[in-house]
Amino acid sequence: MTFVVAGASLAGLRAVESARRTGYRGRIVLIGAEDRLPYDRPPLSKAFLDVDGPGEVAPFHPEAVLRDELGVELMLGAAAESLDTAAREVTAGGTAIRYDALVIATGAAARRLPGARTLRTAEDAVAVRTALDHGARTVVIGAGFIGSEVASAARKRGLPVTIVEAQAVPLARAVGEEAGAALAELHLAAGTDLRLATEVTEVTEVTEVTGVGDGVRLATGEVLPADLVVAGIGAVPATGWLEGSGLALHERDRGVVCDATLAAGAPGVYAAGDVAHVPNPLFDGEPMRLEHWTNAAEQGAAAARHALDPASARALEPVPYFWSDWYGHRIQFVGTPRADEVVVRGATTLYRRGDRLAGALTVDRPREIMKYRRRIAARAPWSEALAFAGAA
């Protein structure tokens, strides 16, 4: 029996680990486009960018653990090129590999803007850090979480940084307008120049110091001088290799459309992590494609169990969770921001859907957020959550 995992990052690694934990003893092939062992992404925009951050991006496990302890055949630096669901074959690096069970965990790639860097891979992080080490004047395009963390890293070094955001309120889609406006204050308090409702028209020329754009031209005609320009404008599912496979890909972003058990619509094929659209029964079956660490880890493990033993497949109903660190503050979010009402109570924002608590955001309240997470999972009434927030 052969278990193939396409994508050697968090979801793919958790799939492999989970397969062995559940007692699977057959062959495992892990295919990864990057020429690196699986590594963790959240630190890339946090500790790694610090002056005294780690010098290298460390893998989750040394190669020996993957090969010898987990018994994984590694195909790194080899992108999966196509999938034939009838023949049950994945082609990667010119070789066809027959699978009995397959987990698709190819994640997402940063959306690009000509002339600007992105921050998605270890190589990206090294380039951004090198520019910061040279004292780069930084412009971040897009006030999302990763861009905000880059701005935070620059300010921590005392470097000038501007964030240009097209929307009037940052993060409106991720956390709603109320919380987005409150989070914008963290930038201002830290001395980041935040330009909202501002369009970028181009990133100009290349400098010698960092090899990136030397300025960002705005629709107003103003040019923001920069040695480092980072675009944090979202990510797109890495599914080019699945075009023509017959799997359903989402009409908007081409992510893999799954059911609530992560099944991708062909025998033995499941998907997990940033690449997957999955309906969540906890939120009226709302389809969700999450770009969150915990989701990728949990789905990766579940997808392997389900792929190797389809009879055991169960619908997942997770409470989405993510965190982000800016300027020494920990921002945490659970649930969904798509709500009928949003109530701000100091450092906590609560989201109501119907008569239930649907989401919660906190700043610097790590113990509280998990209590909200449990309430959302238990479908707790809104009135009870409000009372808890009042007493907390």
Ligand X SMILES: Cc1cc2nc3c(=O)[nH]c(=O)nc-3n(C[C@H](O)[C@H](O)[C@H](O)COP(=O)(O)OP(=O)(O)OC[C@H]3O[C@@H](n4cnc5c(N)ncnc54)[C@H](O)[C@@H]3O)c2cc1C
Select the residue interacting with ligand X from 4, 119, 212, 316 (CB under 6 A): 119
Phi then psi dihedrals of residue 321, to 5 deg: -145, 135
User: How near is the Cβ of 135 to ligand X at its closest, in Å?
Assistant: 22
Tokens 């412009």 map to which residue? 139
Q: Is 18 in the site for ligand X (CB under 6 A)?
A: no
Q: Is 108 in the site for ligand X (CB under 6 A)?
A: yes
Q: Is 373 in the site for ligand X (CB under 6 A)?
A: no
User: How near is the Cβ of 32 to ligand X at its closest, in Å?
Assistant: 5
Quick one: CA torsion of 318, 301, 107, 322, rounded to 10 degrees? 40
Select the residue interacting with ligand X from 4, 7, 227, 372 (CB under 6 A): 7
Cα separation of the two ends of the chain: 53
CB 7 within 8 A of CB 31: yes
User: How near is the Cβ of 39 to ligand X at its closest, in Å?
Assistant: 9
Tokens 């069970």 map to which residue? 101
- C-alpha triplet 228, 131, 167: angle, nearest 5°: 30
Q: Is 326 in the site for ligand X (CB under 6 A)?
A: no
At position 217, the amino acid (one-letter code) is: R
Stretch that binds ligand X, among 34-42, 134-142, 174-182, 380-388 (CB under 6 A): 34-42
Site string for ligand X, 273-292 (x = CB under 6 A): xxx---------------xx
Distance CA 210, CA 113 (A): 17
CB 247 within 8 A of CB 264: yes
Which value, in Å, is the radius of gyration of the alpha carbons in the chain?
22
* Identity of the residue, 234 or 381, whose beta carbon is nearer to ligand X in the bound complex: 234
Site string for ligand X, 62-91 (x = CB under 6 A): -----------------xx-----------
Distance CA 152, CA 161 (A): 9
Stretch that binds ligand X, among 41-49, 209-217, 256-264, 369-377 (CB under 6 A): 41-49
* Contact positions vs ligand X (CB under 6 A): 6-12, 31-34, 41-42, 44-45, 79-80, 105-108, 119-120, 146, 238, 241, 273-275, 291-293, 296, 322-324
